């Protein structure tokens, strides 16, 4: 019914590190050539936890967007924007809040987890409770088919699906829906109409999912339908409601266990990260001083890559033959740890050269960056306004 859009957001944390690149950005770069993608800076989301330190937002936004571009996000292909510059997100959040049961939000695992983890902050706020609903608004606004996220975000996508279903259930009613749907079927043309009916019956009477899929494809390939008819026909396939907001699917980003320089998961807050555009001597120093298999005290002690965080970096950065060399050399004490680290250092520095080169034009001329975002905000806003027109209408708010 809607183009298969991809939507994802990132909180503005400032300059990004290699964990962000291998955990998320690399995936975004791949997706942008397969789907229309919208990527945005979730600045309002940052305020839900850091409302008392707005300085975390300002510059961080631009540093982060530079890193997106450095990673290879192409503003010609992807729409890049800032959440707060598309105020429709706030409107949709508000409207969805009317019918969202409190229990659904209280049950989201991150709600309690984060309150405990960030115990130095007062997160018993209205805004923080609404965090996942704001996220649902971000996604539903663009009728996204796919949302690339890490595992921790999956409950939020599930919630988004429930919110969409509830919304369609409550507001997808329309006086005379059946009649209008039947009229719309006729407008498909007799051949398509017949096929649509047959597939609909097969789905409704036998629960045949393939028939449902085929019928959806048929609608996708019927060019001359009005938006209203399209929504009716999609809704009528499954029941007797219009589908106004479509249910997204999480695209689980393969968990890259990118270790930080202390062997724990790489994270800015652990102080163990390597920046995407960090200076080469600093990167070299960090990797050279990384801990290795604790059992390898002396050069002559054999080691076990399975217990060594440097090995995790080889998993990300090295080819098979280098990895064989590591495995053999480590377990036989044939190579030293510094020797073992060198190919990783080389690979990281090489990767960063690309990042640094791609970032340079935006550092030299920040107006380029501002223009990309201004353009992205305009594009996003147009799409958002289309959705809001439909949402307002079904909620009785189009007072013209």
Minimum separation from the CB atom of position 397 to ligand TRP (A): 24
Question: Does 46 engage in binding with ligand TRP (CB under 6 A)?
Answer: no
* Kind of pairing between the strands at 37-41 and 6-10: parallel
DSSP letter string over 309-351? HHHHHHHHH--HHHHHHHHHHHHTT-S-HHHHHHHHHHHHHHH
Q: Which does 185 bind (CB under 5 to 8 A by kind): ligand TRP, ligand SF4, none?
A: none
Cα dihedral 138, 249, 166, 388, rounded to 10, equals 30
Q: Hey, which residues does 79 pair with through a beta bridge? A: 38
Spell out, one character per residue from 265 to 294, where the chain touches ligand SF4: x when CB under 6 A holds, - when not.
Answer: ---------------------------xx-
Query: For ligand SF4, which residue of 70, 86, 199, 308 counts as binding (CB under 6 A)?
Result: 308
Q: Please name which of 37, 167, 153, 10 lies closest in space to residue 93, comparing C-alpha atoms.
A: 167
State phi, psi for 124 to the nearest 5 degrees.
-85, 55
Question: Does 130 engage in binding with ligand TRP (CB under 6 A)?
Answer: no
Question: Does 188 engage in binding with ligand TRP (CB under 6 A)?
Answer: no
3-state secondary structure string across 28-72: HHHHHCCCCEEEEECHHHHHHHHCCCHHHCHHHHHHHHHHHHHHC
Spell out, one character per residue from 340 to 369, where the chain touches ligand SF4: x when CB under 6 A holds, - when not.
Answer: xx----------------------------
User: How many residues bind ligand TRP, per CB under 6 A?
Assistant: 13
Query: For ligand TRP, which residue of 9, 36, 309, 376 counts as binding (CB under 6 A)?
Result: 9
* Residue 212 and residue 237 in contact, taking contact as beta carbons nearer than 8 Å: yes
Query: For ligand SF4, which residue of 233, 245, 330, 394 counts as binding (CB under 6 A)?
Result: 330
Query: For ligand TRP, which residue of 42, 95, 215, 266 counts as binding (CB under 6 A)?
Result: 42
Question: Does 78 engage in binding with ligand TRP (CB under 6 A)?
Answer: no
Question: Does 47 engage in binding with ligand SF4 (CB under 6 A)?
Answer: no
Candidates 8-16, 53-61, 166-174, 375-383 — which segment interacts with ligand TRP by CB under 6 A? 8-16
Q: Please name which of 400, 392, 4, 390 lies closest in space to residue 227, comparing C-alpha atoms.
A: 390
Question: Does 8 engage in binding with ligand TRP (CB under 6 A)?
Answer: yes
* Helix runs in 207-319, H state only: 209-220, 227-238, 280-288, 309-317
Q: Which does 8 bind (CB under 5 to 8 A by kind): ligand TRP, ligand SF4, none?
A: ligand TRP
Burial bucket for residue 197 (CB in 10 Å: 0-12, 13-18, 19+)? middle
Q: Could you say which DSSP state residue 21 is in?
A: I
Query: For ligand SF4, which residue of 225, 252, 335, 363 counts as binding (CB under 6 A)?
Result: 335
Query: For ligand TRP, which residue of 45, 232, 286, 314 counts as binding (CB under 6 A)?
Result: 45
Cα dihedral 123, 125, 127, 132, rounded to 10, equals 60
The binding site for ligand TRP (CB under 6 A) comprises 7-11, 42, 45, 135, 138-139, 147, 149, 153
The binding site for ligand SF4 (CB under 6 A) comprises 292-293, 296, 303, 305, 308, 310-311, 326, 330, 335, 337, 340-341
């Amino acid at each position: 019914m809607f183009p298969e859009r991809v939507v994802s957001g990132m909180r503005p944390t400032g300059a990004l590190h290699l964990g962000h690149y291998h955990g998320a950005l690399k995936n975004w770069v791949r997706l942008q050539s397969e789907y229309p993608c919208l990527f945005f800076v979730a600045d309002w989301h940052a305020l839900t936890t850091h409302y008392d330190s707005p300085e975390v937002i300002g510059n961080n936004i631009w540093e982060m967007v530079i890193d997106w571009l450095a990673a290879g996000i192409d503003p010609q292909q992807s729409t890049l924007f800032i959440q707060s510059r598309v105020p429709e997100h706030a409107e949709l959040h508000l409207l969805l809040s009317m019918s969202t049961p409190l229990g659904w939000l209280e049950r989201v695992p991150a709600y309690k987890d984060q309150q405990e983890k960030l115990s130095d902050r007062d997160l018993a706020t209205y805004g923080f409770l609404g965090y996942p609903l704001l996220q649902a608004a971000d996604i539903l606004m663009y009728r996204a088919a796919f949302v690339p996220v890490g595992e921790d975000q999956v409950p939020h996508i599930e919630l988004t699906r429930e919110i969409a279903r509830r919304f369609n259930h409550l507001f997808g009613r329309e006086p005379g829906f059946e009649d209008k749907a039947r009229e719309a079927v006729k407008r498909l043309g007799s051949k398509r109409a017949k096929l649509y009916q047959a597939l609909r019956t097969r789905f409704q009477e036998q629960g045949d999912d393939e028939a449902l899929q085929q019928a959806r494809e048929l609608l996708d390939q019927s060019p001359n339908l009005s938006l209203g008819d399209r929504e009716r026909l999609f809704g009528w396939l499954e029941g007797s409601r219009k589908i106004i907001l479509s249910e997204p699917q999480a695209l689980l980003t393969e968990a890259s266990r990118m270790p930080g320089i202390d062997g724990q998961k790489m994270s800015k807050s652990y102080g163990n990260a390597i920046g995407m555009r960090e200076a080469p001597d600093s990167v070299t120093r960090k990797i050279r001083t990384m801990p290795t298999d604790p059992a390898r005290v002396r050069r002559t002690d054999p080691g076990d890559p399975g217990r060594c965080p440097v090995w995790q970096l080889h998993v990300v950065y090295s080819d098979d033959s280098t990895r064989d060399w590591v495995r053999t050399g480590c377990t036989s004490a044939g190579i030293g740890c510094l020797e073992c680290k060198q190919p990783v250092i080389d690979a990281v520095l090489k990767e960063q050269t690309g990042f640094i080169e791609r970032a340079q034009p935006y550092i030299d001329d920040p107006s380029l960056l501002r223009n990309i975002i201004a353009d992205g905000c305009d594009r996003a806003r147009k799409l958002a306004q289309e959705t809001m027109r439909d949402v307002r209408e079904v909620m009785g708010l189009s007072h013209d």
